[in-house]
Structure 1
Amino acid sequence: MSEPLPSANTERPASPTAREIPYIALSSFYFAYYAALGAFTPYWSLYLQSRGMDVAAISVLMSLWYATRIVAPSTWTTLAAHSPKPIRWLRIGCALTLLSFTAFLLPMGFTGLFAAMCAFCFAYNAVMPQFEAITMSHLDERSDRYGRIRVWGSIGFIAVVSLYGVLIDRLGVATLPWLMLPLLAGLLLSSFGNRYAHLPADSADAQPIAFRTRLRHPQVIAFFAAAFLAQISFGPYYTFFSIYLAEHGYSASMLGMFWTVGVLAEIAVFFLASRIFRRWDAGKVLMFALLSAALRWSATALWPDQVAVMLLAQLTHALNFGAFFAAAMQLLVRFFPGRMNGHGQGIFYGLSSGVGGVAGALIAGQLWRFGGQTPFLAAAGFALLGALIAWYWLVRHPQAGHRF
């Protein structure tokens, strides 16, 4: 059995009270960020299709969303950690996000779209890991309150995905960049209303031995492996779900309804997060989230024409995204406490969402040639493998994880 991890610095600020946590400022950033994502994720592949891109080109362009996550989070958290005023990097990232997105208003072919996607996705992906660390600096050990803040991201997502489905049906998907500009402007505005609760004396680099030891611990490796496989399993969903259902006769407003149902269920989980984690360990929640994902992708592959089945599958988004993400944040606090959390967040986004996202999008693109159901069946297999890893390392041996 591996040796327990070194103890984290026990000198931590007192628990913040509800009044000391800037719920509105923090929530506004999540709202704006995920509102823009609510326009981008369900409809961007349809927008690229309207620009004349085929399935292969779309899979490459959408993979850039995940490819930039490999380097953007760690780059931004490192720049912020070495800056005397790290909040500036959040605002710079939001400004670059808005500026780079304006390129999509120009007429471009594949090369131009590739360059624009690289710039926009890098800037957009850079800011959220830093902001997660900002949020955790306000919560400290009361990380169970995270769901009450993060839920506003889901509310922003659902508001936009439902509204924009109707607008796209009426105005055409070519108007999507214009519709997204106000959302990204709101993100920039919110960044000026947020700041760290307290600045760490130094970064995780000041504890290199402890930090690297944690990265090598079996429970940490298992967590990142499970997160990596979870993101691969979402590849077909984020890349081709809208196209897949459109091929089965669903309208854009119907697609928006499916996405809305999933996020509504996710919102319920974020509201109940505190109760969930008081009753169940985060490792067990992570495992069940991955099992639910395996069932979801199987149903999506086998019964796409059954509206009731598809609605039920979307409801499981509460588990395989909402519960998974909330559990991941709990485990990141456990594995990388205090000033290590920003770097832990960067690794989480870079490895799971970054490398896993690229792999998921590219694998989905390659499997699409064998029929739309094939990538979703493969996704079910990846999710099941992740659940087995979580069961063995995070559930079967939970006592090892609690020595963090």
Structure 2
Amino acid sequence: MNTFPYWRLSSFYLCYFSLLGATAPFLALYFDYLGFPPARIGELVAIPMLMRCIAPNLWGWLGDRTGERLRIVRFGAICTFLSLALLFVDQSYAWLALVMALHAFFWHAVLPQFEVITLAHLKERTANYSRVRVWGSVGFVLAVVGLGKAFELAGMGIYPWTLLIIVAGIVVSSFWVPSASPVVREQRIDVEGFFGQLRRPAVLCFFASVALMQLSHGPYYTFLSIHLQTLGYTRSVIGLLWALGVLSEIVLFLFMASIISRFDVRQVLVASFLLAALRWLLLGILADHLAVLLLAQLFHAATFGAFHAAAVHFVQGAFGHREQGQGQALYAALAGTGGALGALYSGYTWSTLGAGWTFAIASLAALGAAGIICVPSTRRNPI
């Protein structure tokens, strides 16, 4: 790991996913603190996810066309900072919706392009991706634990300031990372073009399963913190529970290279989908039992860690070097589509059907993802 800029890449992931650690558990709590009802909270949380349907593809095309991926990363980080600064202007629903859309347009420009840069630095050692990406999980843990305690002591009023501090770290770290271009690989798929590669059954089924898997995460990212707060858990404990899930993800990342070498990507994905289906049922029905809640959070190692590492590995192998940015962007975009739909439906069902049924729908979506990835026609084009 000493022949490429390991710590520079890792520091960016640490800062980038610290922002996710500030938003995933606490964004809905902040909107709840401002007095918005569940339906409006679901809509506001869905807006950044919907922006993932547009922004990554636009920026991915631009990155592939110009090759200036690092400049896109830096530009996106700076504009994300400026966009989130608008939180201090107003706190009306319309203004917050605008801020959510604007900052997400630039924030989602960043990661897909940075993934291509990281893989380019790794060259043929893509199995070591998880050892770099694990620092993103470390950043997430530091954010959820530290901010959970900070919000308990100082209240949610400091939330916008914490976002700006973290994004400033993303900006600084982006200027520390050296650029790199994807390795040109002489492969048949390289000359098919992006849409030619996309039409293959295995690729289509993969992306459909990605959308469903992210849809199933909608209630988790939108209402888990509110759900646990309603059940009597403090903000510090909620932060620790989020951290537990990501700590399990960190442990998995350390062994992911070995897992990928022993099992094919399809098997890893199916296991992730099935464990996600079980996890959502446990969270919806038995979250008031701490032991069950702890077990469900440990499943995060599979439902995010193994899933994401396998997905990035698949996209890197499925697309030629000229389409890497578009492939990673499409993965991010479909994840955003599914996540947005999940946030929207959970916002509307939370106050009408309750937590149990909302998470049950998520469980069915994860089962659907497992079914799609096992479609027999994809076996002629193994993942």
TM-score (norm 2): 0.95
Equivalent residue number for residue 229 of structure 1? 212
1:56 aligns with 2:56: no
The correspondence for 1:30, drawn from 13, 30, 46, is 13
Counterpart of 1:14 in structure 2 is none
Task: Pick one of 307, 312, 319 that aligns with 1:336.
Answer: 319
Q: Measured at CA, do residues 84 and 363 of structure 1 come closer, stay the same or move farther in structure 2, by a change above 3 Å?
A: closer
Q: Structure 1 residues 84 and 340 mapped into 2: Cα distance closer, same or farther (>3 Å)? A: closer
Question: Cα distance 1:216–1:107, how it changes in 2: closer, same or farther (>3 A)?
Answer: same
* Cα distance between partner residues in 2 of 1:122 and 1:94: 11
- Tell me, yes or no, if structure 1 residue 326 matches structure 2 residue 335: no
Match of 2:290 among 304, 307, 315: 307
Partner of 2:382: 401
- SS of alignment partner, residue 258 of structure 2: helix
Equivalent position of 1:294 in the other structure:
277
Q: Matched residues in 2 for 1:69 and 1:323: separation?
A: 21
Question: For the residues of structure 1 that align with 2:278 and 2:182, how far apart are their CA atoms?
Answer: 43
Q: Displacement, 1:85? A: 3.6
The superposition leaves residues 142-170 of structure 1 with CA deviations (integer Å, 9 ceiling, x where unpaired) of: 11010000000000000110111011000
1:283 and 1:331 in contact (8 A); partners too:
no
Q: CA deviation at 1:288?
A: 0.1
Distance between the aligned counterparts of 1:250 and 1:122, measured in 2? 34
Q: Which amino acid aligns with 1:362?
A: L
Are 2:102 and 1:125 equivalent residues in the alignment? Answer: no
Q: Distance in 2 between matches of 1:221 and 1:77?
A: 19
Distance 1:125 1:215 in 2: 21
Which moved further from structure 2: 111-120 or 336-345?
A: 336-345
Whether the 8 Å contact between 1:215 and 1:221 is mirrored in structure 2 is yes
State the Cα RMSD in Å.
Answer: 1.8
Given the alignment of the two structures, is residue 102 of structure 1 paired with residue 85 of structure 2, yes or no? yes
Shift in Å at residue 84 of structure 1? 5.9
Which position in structure 2 is the counterpart of 1:135? 118
Instruction: Describe the shift of the 1:216–1:85 C-alpha distance in structure 2 as closer, same or farther (beyond 3 A).
Output: closer
Contact 1:129 1:342 (C-alpha < 8 Å) held by counterparts: yes
How far does residue 199 in structure 1 lie from its aligned partner after superposition? 6.2
Q: Distance in 2 between matches of 1:264 and 1:393?
A: 35
SS of 1:21's partner is: coil
Task: Tell me, in whole angstroms, the C-alpha distance in 2 between the residues paired with 1:84 and 1:323.
Answer: 29
Over residues 107-149 of structure 1, what are the superposed CA-to-partner deviations in whole Å (9 max), with x where a residue is unaligned?
3211111111111111111111111111111112211010000
Are the aligned partners of 2:190 and 2:320 in contact in 1 as well (CA < 8 Å)? Answer: no
Q: In the TM superposition, what is the alpha-carbon distance from 1:207 to its structure 2 partner?
A: 6.4
Partner of 2:173: 190
Q: How does 1:3-402 map to 2 (within 5 A)?
A: 18-83=1-66, 85-198=68-181, 209-351=192-334, 353-368=335-350, 369-392=352-375, 397=379, 400-401=381-382
5+ unaligned residues in a row in structure 2: which ranges? none
Checking the alignment, whether the CA contact within 8 Å between 1:137 and 1:196 is kept in structure 2 is no
8 A contact 1:105–1:178 mirrored in 2: no
Is the CA contact 1:200–1:339 (under 8 Å) kept in the aligned structure 2? no
User: 1:200: Cα distance to partner?
Assistant: 7.0
Q: Which deviations, in whole Å up to 9, do the C-alpha atoms of 1:249-277 show, x marking residues without a partner?
A: 11111111110110000001111111111
Instruction: Give distance in 2, aligned partners of 1:200 and 1:153.
Output: 24
Percent sequence identity is: 38
Q: Distance in 1 between matches of 2:180 and 2:71?
A: 15
For 1:337 and 1:290, the matched residues in 2 are separated by 27
Q: Which structure 1 segments of 5+ residues have no match?
A: 1-17
Q: Helix, strand or coil: the match of 1:272?
A: helix
Whether the 8 Å contact between 1:219 and 1:393 is mirrored in structure 2 is: no
- Would you identify which runs of 4 or more consecutive aligned residues in structure 1 move more than 6 Å? none
Give the stretch that moved more between structures: 355-364 or 336-345. Answer: 336-345
Distance 1:106 1:254 in 2: 31
Q: 1:221 to 1:45 in 2, by over 3 A?
A: same
Q: Normalized against structure 1, the TM-score is what?
A: 0.90
Amino acid at match of 1:324: F
Q: How many residues align?
A: 379
Aligned-residue offset at 1:374: 1.4
Separation in structure 2 between the aligned mates of residue 400 and residue 120 of structure 1, nearest angstrom: 38
Cα displacement (A) at 1:372: 1.6
TM-superposed deviation, 1:315:
0.2
Shift of residue 338, structure 1, vs aligned partner: 2.3
Q: Which amino acid aligns with 1:339?
A: R
